[in-house]
Amino acid sequence: MGLNLAEHGTQNELHQLLEHIRQHEKQGDMRQRIDADPFTEVGEIAASYNRVSAELERAVGHTRVMLRNLRDGVITWQADGTLSLYGQN
């Protein structure tokens, strides 16, 4: 916990940004964007985060379309050992 938050019970703009990012991470929803004043350093960081999120959302969507349209299946193993099959109807 930051000194400002511990002493005064207030949150600064950077702390709020980090909290938003943590929420996005927990929810796994790449469609969410962060609103921030674009004329501050934190606002610039939020805008960059939003651009990265949008590009990731686009790439995941593209990958999903490719997997749906496969003629042959794709087999993958997850880190936990789970086997997944994509593209087989």
Q: What is the pLDDT of residue 10?
A: 53
| Number of domains, the chain | 1
- Please spell the DSSP secondary structure of 47-76, one letter per residue: HHHHHHHHHHHHHHHHHHHHHHT-SS-EEE
pLDDT tens figures, 46-73: 999 999 999 999 999 998 888 777 777 7
Q: Are 14 and 42 in contact (CB under 8 A)?
A: yes
Q: What is the pLDDT of residue 7?
A: 55
Q: Could you list the residue range(s) of the whole structural domain that residue 68 is in?
A: 3-86
Residue 77, beta-bridge partner list: 83
pLDDT tens figures, 20-43: 999 999 998 888 899 988 899 999
Q: What is the pLDDT of residue 75?
A: 80
